[in-house]
Structure 1
Amino acid sequence: MNDAMRIYRSGLGLALLVLAGFLIYWLRPILTPFLAGALLAYLGDPLTRRLQRLGLNRTLAVSFVFLGLTALTAAVVLMFIPLIGRQINMLQSQLPAMLEWAQSQAIPWLEQTLGVDPATFDLAALRTAISEHWQSTGNVAAEVIQRLTRSGLALAGALASLALVPVVAFYLLRDWDRVLAAALDTLPPAWRETVARLARECDEVVGAFLRGQLLVMISLGIFYGLGLWLVGVQLGLLIGLLSGLAAVVPYLGFIVGIAAASVATLFQFNEWLIPLLLVWVVYGAGQVLESAVFTPLFVGDRIGLHPVVVIFAVLAGGQLFGFAGVLLALPVAAVIAVLLRHAHAFVTG
Structure 2
Amino acid sequence: MMRWMIGIGVVGLLVLTYFLLPILSPFVVGFIIAYLFNPLVTRLDRHGVSRTWGTSLIFLGGALVLLVALVALIPVLIEQTVRLVRVFPQLLDIVQQRIIPWVTQTTGLELHVDQLRALVVSHGETIAKVVAGGLSNVSATGTAAFIALMNLLLIPVIAFYLLRDWPVVIARVEQMLPRHRVDSIALMARESDSMLGNFLRGQLAVMIANGVTYSIGLTLIGLETGIAIGMFAGLVSFVPYLGTIIGILLALIAMYIQADSLWPLLLVLGVFGVGQVLETVAWQPRFVGNEIGMHPVAVIFAVMAGGQLFGFFGILLALPVSAVLIVLGEHALAAYRESRYYRGKDERALPPGDGDEPVEG
**TM-score normalised by length of structure 1:** 0.86
Deviation of the 1:129 alpha carbon: 3.9
- Secondary structure, in 3 states, of the residue corresponding to 1:302? coil
Match of 1:292 among 268, 272, 281: 281
* Contact 1:209 1:330 (8 Å CA) reproduced: no
The alignment status of 1:334 with 2:334, answered yes or no, reads no
Match of 1:151 among 141, 148, 157: 141
Deviation of the 1:297 alpha carbon: 1.6
- Secondary structure, in 3 states, of the residue corresponding to 1:247? helix
* Contact 2:215 2:228 (8 Å CA) reproduced: yes
The alignment status of 1:310 with 2:310, answered yes or no, reads no
Cα RMSD of the aligned pairs, angstroms, is 2.8
* Contact 1:261 1:279 (8 Å CA) reproduced: yes
1:276 counterpart residue number: 265
Instruction: Identify the range of structure 1 (293-302 vs 9-18) with the bigger mean alpha-carbon deviation.
Output: 9-18
* Contact 2:307 2:315 (8 Å CA) reproduced: yes
Instruction: Identify the range of structure 1 (252-261 vs 284-293) with the bigger mean alpha-carbon deviation.
Output: 252-261
Any unmatched runs of 5+ in structure 1?
A: 1-7
The alpha-carbon distance between structure 1 residues 286 and 327, as it changes in their structure 2 partners (threshold 3 A), is closer
Encode CA deviations 1:219-269: one digit per residue, 9 max, x unaligned. 101110111011011222222122112211222222222232223223322
Aligned-partner Cα distance in 2 for 1:205–1:99: 46
Aligned pairs (5 A) from 1:110-259? 117=109, 119=111, 123-131=113-121, 134=124, 146-259=136-249
Aligned-partner Cα distance in 1 for 2:189–2:275: 34
Deviation of the 1:139 alpha carbon: 10
Give the residue type in structure 1 aligned to 2:186.
A
Aligned-partner Cα distance in 2 for 1:286–1:341: 34
The alpha-carbon distance between structure 1 residues 220 and 108, as it changes in their structure 2 partners (threshold 3 A), is farther
The alpha-carbon distance between structure 1 residues 322 and 55, as it changes in their structure 2 partners (threshold 3 A), is same
- Secondary structure, in 3 states, of the residue corresponding to 2:139? helix
Aligned-partner Cα distance in 2 for 1:136–1:81: 29
The alignment status of 1:41 with 2:31, answered yes or no, reads no
Deviation of the 1:309 alpha carbon: 3.5
The alignment status of 1:24 with 2:47, answered yes or no, reads no
* Contact 1:208 1:304 (8 Å CA) reproduced: no
Encode CA deviations 1:255-284: one digit per residue, 9 max, x unaligned. 2222322232233224431x2222222111
Instruction: Identify the range of structure 1 (228-237 vs 16-25) with the bigger mean alpha-carbon deviation.
Output: 16-25
Encode CA deviations 1:3-34: one digit per residue, 9 max, x unaligned. xxxxx554444333322211211211211111
Deviation of the 1:112 alpha carbon: 7.0
Aligned-partner Cα distance in 2 for 1:225–1:138: 30
Give the residue type in structure 2 aligned to 1:318.
G
Aligned-partner Cα distance in 1 for 2:287–2:137: 42
2:308 counterpart residue number: 319
Instruction: Identify the range of structure 1 (177-186 vs 99-108) with the bigger mean alpha-carbon deviation.
Output: 99-108
Match of 1:105 among 90, 98, 102: 98
The alpha-carbon distance between structure 1 residues 138 and 64, as it changes in their structure 2 partners (threshold 3 A), is farther
Any unmatched runs of 5+ in structure 2?
A: 339-361
1:78 counterpart residue number: 71
Instruction: Identify the range of structure 1 (251-260 vs 27-36) with the bigger mean alpha-carbon deviation.
Output: 251-260
Deviation of the 1:170 alpha carbon: 0.5
1:5 counterpart residue number: none
* Contact 1:224 1:282 (8 Å CA) reproduced: yes
Match of 2:62 among 53, 58, 69: 69
* Contact 1:309 1:333 (8 Å CA) reproduced: no
Give the residue type in structure 2 aligned to 1:342.
H
* Contact 2:292 2:323 (8 Å CA) reproduced: no
Query: Which of structures 1 and 2 has the larger relative contact order (alpha carbons within 8 angstroms, sep 6+)?
Result: 1
2:82 counterpart residue number: 89
Encode CA deviations 1:108-144: one digit per residue, 9 max, x unaligned. 556677x59563xx64333334445558868998875
Give the residue type in structure 2 aligned to 1:19.
G
Deviation of the 1:348 alpha carbon: 2.7
Deviation of the 1:293 alpha carbon: 1.3
2:49 counterpart residue number: 56
Encode CA deviations 1:299-335: one digit per residue, 9 max, x unaligned. 1232243333333333333333334434433322222
Q: Percent identity?
A: 43
